[in-house]
Structure 1
Amino acid sequence: MTATLDIVLLRTVVAIDDCGGFGRAAEELRISQPTVSQHVRSLERRLGQALVEKDGRRSRFTPAGAALLAEARRIIAVHDQALERLDVSTRPPLAVGASPVAVETVLPGLVDALRDMHPDRPVQVTTDRSAALTQGVRSGALDLALVFEVSPAGEPPTEDGALEVGHLRLIWRRGLGSDVVAAATGAAGGALAAAL
């Protein structure tokens, strides 16, 4: 499989540099500080090296992080120029939220399926805690969210007003490039099966 660099994660790295830290980057991007940290950790895992290190109470980019930052700025510039040329910026993005558990498991397949179903709309992904994602769906900031909750005694997680649209049955397998293969069942099975 060819390695890829997610543009959302690259924008986070640039925001850390432009804003002077994780907290200010989170404010600028309108995401939580743990999400900023998760984005950096995802890139570190993808690249196999540390990108940020502690320097007293502050953080600074490692040499690998500085190199990634320079590449990220170039990639984002080319990306945004292409969007302008293609006039994609006038189409509203599909705003998708995902909990950290879903980011590396279910989300990639769902994003691919959404892009196949809606090729004229970019997919914008936000990673956050389940409660924040649920609020994002309620407020209209997110079109959908992948939230994993444990329901007590088999009851559906609808106490907070969430609309249950189906169930995912997760089948754990090792050695398939990803540790998780998911199959969908229930009311949302058709759309989710296509996504997974």
Structure 2
Amino acid sequence: MTGQTSRLRAAVPDDAGDFANRYRDQRLGGAEVINIVVGGCVVSDADDVIITTTLGSCVAACVFDPVARIGGMNHFLLPDSGSDILSGSSRYGSAAMEQLINRMLAITHRRDRLRAKVFGGAKMRALMSDAGQHNVEFVMEYLAAEGIPTMSWDVGGSAARAIRFYPTSGRTQRRLIGDEHVHDIARSEASFMERLRTTAIDGDVELF
């Protein structure tokens, strides 16, 4: 572990707790793979770390600083927003994005160098809702309002996605997931959405 990595992890833990699973994958050259689920957020500057996730109607924002070679990924799902633009939906999305961006800025202090890639937001037949579209619209509008350029995106459609993100380079890989796994993904997202509808959001969140 380098001195820089030790400094990052001491100041901004990349541990997503119950929302992440870590393991070494010899098929990927012994890289440390950190897999996050809904609610997860991981930041790292370690060259041997790969952050992964699986997305249905959820969205993952991959934010990185190509100069400092630091990056992070979150994974969030908005509950139904209704007609209130300051609803819990917007508050939750803002909290998820602020968590990621603030962890990055705590190290780089350079918002102008941040770049983003966005994935997910599929229309899952099992959910029978437009949650995916709402998630995509939210994250794109949020990044634009924060002045963070979105370098690429792979969103929408009807297929779930598996994502790999290499935080120090900003490189990403996307694989579409077959129907045999879609039901499990949709069931997990539906369960998480129900919890969001009934759980208060801690703390105050500044909306744009």
- TM-score, structure 1 as length reference: 0.27
Q: Which protein is bigger by CA-based radius of gyration?
A: 1
Bigger relative contact order (CA 8 A; separation at least 6) = 2
- TM-score, structure 2 as length reference: 0.26
Q: Whose strand fraction is larger, Structure 1's or Structure 2's?
A: 2
Q: Whose helix fraction is larger, Structure 1's or Structure 2's?
A: 1
